[in-house]
């Protein structure tokens, strides 16, 4: 199972689901929904959080949350 956390900077993926039955609503409201294409732009200087590009804007989330989002590479 690949999660958003496993993607490297520059890689893209498509959200396919969540590891958790009750994913944080805030992430869903920001548009991180199944079928959404996501790009890892970069990691923060200390490796966490992550800068994502989703639906045309930059969103920063922690590795901890990224590990809850299942993705398919590409």
Three-state DSSP string of the chain: CCEHHHCCCCCEEEEEEECCCCCCHHHHHCCCCCCCEEEEEEECCCCCCEEEEECCEEEEECHHHHCCEEEEEC
The answer to whether residue 47 forms part of the interface with another protein (CB under 8 A) is yes
Give the count of residues interacting with another protein (CB under 8 A). Answer: 31
Name which of 28 and 67 has its Cβ closer to another protein.
28
CB 45 → another protein: shortest distance, Å? 5
Interface ranges with another protein (CB under 8 A): 22-31, 33-34, 36, 41-42, 44-49, 51, 55-62, 65
């Amino acid at each position: 199972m690949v999660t958003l956390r496993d993607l490297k900077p520059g890689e893209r993926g498509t959200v396919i689901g969540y590891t958790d039955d009750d994913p944080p609503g805030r992430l869903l409201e920001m548009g991180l929904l199944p079928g959404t294409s996501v790009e890892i732009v970069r990691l923060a200087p200390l490796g966490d959080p992550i800068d994502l590009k989703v639906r045309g804007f930059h969103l920063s989330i922690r590795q901890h949350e990224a590990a809850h989002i299942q993705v398919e590479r590409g």
